[in-house]
Structure 1
Amino acid sequence: MVDVGIDPATGKRKQLTRTFDTLKAAKAEYARITNRRHEGTFVSPNKITVNEWLDQWLAKKAEDLEETTIYNYAVTLGRVRGKLGHIRLQELTEDHVETWMTWALREGRVRGGKAGTGLGVTSVEMSLARLKDALNRAVTRRLVAVNVAQEVTIPRKARKAERRTKKVLQPWNVAEVHAFVLAVKDDRLYAPLLLSLMGLRPAEVCGLRWSDIDLNAATLDISNTRTLMGNKTVVEKDTKSMAGERLLPLPALVREALKEFRATQAAEKLAAGEAYSGSGYVIVDELGAALNGRQLRVRAYKIMDENGFRRVRLYDVRASCLTYLANSGVPDHILARWAGHTNVKTTKKWYVKPDVEDLRPAAEAWGGLASLATPFSEKL
């Protein structure tokens, strides 16, 4: 029997009892436990399972993170729970995590595609990252001695195999954006769709209120978002980050479209009478009820399909805007501010995606280099 510390819940001394066949073995274990306790590395035995710890960890994280972020964490860890959740936390091994990762890459999909096929590398990597975070906290809480998932990584072969087979969706180029603008010019949601083309996130477009727009000063105050959680529940909250809260100037085209849309809504309110809800949001239906991101997306897809346009996500249109601004020489600090990012590195890494035509000036510049070259035979 050996003291292993104080129970934080009761304040009483905690003791651990072990039984051995020989006195020598008992003394060795006593010394090992005592030394680890003095070093601060001793972990008291417990029966907490992986699922139970993940529940506790998520509950604690929920005190600091947005509801939508916690939902995404829960979905991400849900991929882990089925295979690893029943295992006791202290019995979880690196082999367990490696085996789960291999299974997930080969046959871990249960939704969003054909069941039984492999999950994408990014999905598995996100699940691993969240599991590592949770296990790191378990180490800090002295629930486990080490993070057994810390060194588990996606094999390079798996990454390369996915790159060979996965089609990379390029954002719309300038010509495609122009064609889309012409196609939606007479659509009721012309103005909200132009806001998407300005590079606003779908949640920012849906969260805009008329009180956020100053048509006289031609400015747009982005401070509120409406996010669709689980494709069903609308969550209204502030912007994704402090940098996301920003005041943008309205391009003349968007300003005029918003003026027309406000006039349209005034006429709809007059026609509907008491049936009009008057929510105050910019993007609403004919009775004033706020529309969500899925409804905006469905309308955009319908327009794309009807006109034979290449289908892209509204979020990818954000990349079209930021790529064009970057190619047009907009300074980095302005580009990051427009995007709502703290650091322009984020903007350039994820949203600036030049296509082959964007690279054409580089080819022309190289042509100047080659034309200056003098053949060696002429020198002789």
Structure 2
Amino acid sequence: MGKRTNTARWTGKMWRIDVQQDGKRKSFYSSRPGRTGQREANAKADAWLDDGIAARAPKVADAGKLWLHEVEVTTCTTNYRPTESRWRNWILPAIGTLRVNKLTDQDLQEVINNAYTAGRSRKVLKLLAADMRAFCKYCRKAKLSAYIPEDLKIPAGARYKGKTILQPADLVKLFNVDTTTYRGQTVQDEYINAYRFQVLTGLRPGELLGLDWADIHGNTVNVCRSINIIGEETCGKNENAVRSFQLSTLARHVLEEQREATGGVGSVFHILNEQQYYRRWKAYCTANGLTQCSLYELRHTFVSVVKTLPAGEVKDLVGHSEDMDTFGVYSHALTGDAEDTAQAVNGVFLQVLKNA
């Protein structure tokens, strides 16, 4: 069976699409202007290709099990788990009983619309759209369907989930108070330098856990591994996660204190796992009256503080691609060279702490 991997194109007079199946090539046309004509030509091609698909293609629920198994064996656990959850909670209830070769853009759009109506964030809606496109691609590869989603839209009113960041008064406390409460007693917080270093560098929580002293050479930090939420060592969230950056003066001072406390061998911060780290961070916030925020929001705090710096410099520091909207996603309201960037970061933090 052939499968359509392209879409109709306007020739100047009409829409045309060329497809091939079992060595036979055919062209389909539509003279209707606009996207209506494009969809019509594509539908004709799909109908012809569908002739090579089994008369009773599997239901979405059955094909979905096979697709999820492929996701599980070809990606990491931390990607599979949320994908499976979105499938089970949003996609399966809406289209699970439909045949894969009968799906339409409207069927998939309703999944997104239902999640939007339920108040899910723009990020979740985009992930749902990506999941369904990936599922349809799997069905085409498995010769279960020739359907290609072409017109899925994220509702204009969808917004990214609001984030909480540390405010200047919180930062003053963070950099001046070393103690926390443990079993009713005021004690030294063993992770105080981890909190400070994460705020000063914008490291992801997993990158902080995976940082070894061997990764630090003078003023240069090489980020080359991450420990995920279930304790697995990975190469990081994406290809941009592996990176190097220069330490600001404040960050270097924090590391010097950590080296004196731990001896500078093996793991930098000796954190057992992310869950324990988060519990200790929450306890520190409660004990010292800091705004409660997540570990990942310490990264948001960093980007918010340095948002006056050039976007290109900040992308390199936090491991974002060129097309990532770093400030749009990570920056929130506050009440040339690698060394230049490091000192610029240092100056911004000193100014915030001084003004607070």
> Cα offset for 1:170?
4.5
The partner residue of 1:81 within 89, 92, 96 is 92
User: Given the superposition, is the C-alpha separation of residues 301 and 128 from structure 1 closer, same or farther in structure 2, using an over 3 Å criterion?
Assistant: same
Q: Work out which of the two has the higher radius of gyration on C-alpha atoms and give 1 or 2.
A: 1
Q: Which residue of 2 aligns with 1:334?
A: 313
1:351 aligns with 2:306: no
Is the 1:341–1:347 Cα contact (8 Å) retained in structure 2?
Answer: yes
Is the 1:243–1:341 Cα contact (8 Å) retained in structure 2?
Answer: yes
**Letter of the structure 2 residue corresponding to residue 260 of structure 1:** E
**Letter of the structure 2 residue corresponding to residue 264 of structure 1:** A
Distance 1:75 1:38 in 2: 33
1:134 aligns with 2:135: yes
User: Given the superposition, is the C-alpha separation of residues 204 and 171 from structure 1 closer, same or farther in structure 2, using an over 3 Å criterion?
Assistant: same
The partner residue of 1:90 within 78, 101, 125 is 101
1:177 aligns with 2:180: no
What is the RMSD computed on CA atoms of the aligned residues?
Answer: 3.5
Q: Deviations over 1:201-229 (max 9, x none)?
A: 10100111222223xx133221010010x
Distance 1:78 1:281 in 2: 38
Is the 1:76–1:127 Cα contact (8 Å) retained in structure 2?
Answer: yes
Distance 2:46 2:327 in 1: 49
Is the 2:304–2:334 Cα contact (8 Å) retained in structure 1?
Answer: no
Distance 2:74 2:300 in 1: 29
User: 1:195-344 counterparts in 2 under 5 A?
Assistant: 195-197=197-199, 198-214=201-217, 217-228=218-229, 233-266=230-263, 280-284=266-270, 290-327=271-308, 329=309, 331-343=310-322
Is the 1:50–1:87 Cα contact (8 Å) retained in structure 2?
Answer: yes
> Cα offset for 1:173?
3.5
Distance 2:56 2:115 in 1: 28
Q: Which residue of 2 aligns with 1:364?
A: none
Distance 1:122 1:36 in 2: 33
Distance 2:162 2:46 in 1: 53
Q: Deviations over 1:31-75 (max 9, x none)?
A: xxxx97996453422342213322333344456543422333222
Distance 1:304 1:67 in 2: 30
Q: Deviations over 1:317-349 (max 9, x none)?
A: 21222232231x3x3332211111221643233
> Cα offset for 1:352?
2.8
> Cα offset for 1:95?
5.8
Distance 2:154 2:324 in 1: 24
Is the 1:336–1:344 Cα contact (8 Å) retained in structure 2?
Answer: no
**Letter of the structure 1 residue corresponding to residue 213 of structure 2:** W
User: Given the superposition, is the C-alpha separation of residues 354 and 345 from structure 1 closer, same or farther in structure 2, using an over 3 Å criterion?
Assistant: farther
Q: Give the structure-1-normalised TM-score.
A: 0.63
Q: Which residue of 2 aligns with 1:26?
A: none
Is the 1:191–1:254 Cα contact (8 Å) retained in structure 2?
Answer: no
**Letter of the structure 1 residue corresponding to residue 83 of structure 2:** Y
Q: Which residue of 1 aligns with 2:191?
A: 189
SS in 2 for 1:127: helix
Q: Which residue of 1 aligns with 2:351?
A: none
Q: Deviations over 1:231-251 (max 9, x none)?
A: xx2221112223221222233
Q: Deviations over 1:336-373 (max 9, x none)?
A: 111112216432332233447xxxxxxxxxxxxxxxxx
SS in 1 for 2:297: helix
Distance 2:75 2:152 in 1: 26
Q: Percent identity between the aligned chains?
A: 20
User: Given the superposition, is the C-alpha separation of residues 200 and 155 from structure 1 closer, same or farther in structure 2, using an over 3 Å criterion?
Assistant: closer
Is the 1:219–1:249 Cα contact (8 Å) retained in structure 2?
Answer: yes
Q: Which residue of 2 aligns with 1:31?
A: none
Is the 2:173–2:288 Cα contact (8 Å) retained in structure 1?
Answer: no
